[in-house]
Amino acid sequence: MRFKESRVTDGATLRHSRIMAMLQFIADTEGATTKDIQAFMFLHYGLKYRTTAEYLHEAHLAGSIVLSQDGRWVVTEKFKKYLR
């Protein structure tokens, strides 16, 4: 799975595309651990683990993802409708 970023001069647009890719990864894997997501973001975008942790925190606060009982982040039903 390879993601290509277009030339973007706007930092917010670049951040948005990375967050959407992260959420799509979580949805596609039907749940992923923090380490899985951090590894994905590092390999595809070169992001530091801390930056990915901040993205996860913000997505959680926004109600896009929740932490399941087995310690995996999963996309909420509300957000799944947005992905379709």
The pLDDT tens digits of the residues spanning 21-64 come to: 999 999 999 999 999 999 999 999 999 999 999 999 999 999 99
Question: 16-55 b/e with 16+ CB inside 10 Å = b?
Answer: ebbbebbbebbbebebbeeeebbebbeebbebeeebbeeb
Is 78:63 a contact under the CB 8 Å cutoff? Answer: yes
Architecture of domain 11-83: Orthogonal Bundle (1.10)
pLDDT range class, residue 14, cuts 50, 70, 90: very high
The residue ranking higher by pLDDT, 83 or 60, is 60
pLDDT at residue 77 is higher than 90: yes
Q: Where are the beta strands (DSSP E) in 1-84?
A: 65-67, 73-75
> Which residue type is seen at 40?
F
Instruction: Name the β-bridge partners of 67.
Output: 73
pLDDT at 6: 60
Size of the chain in residues: 84
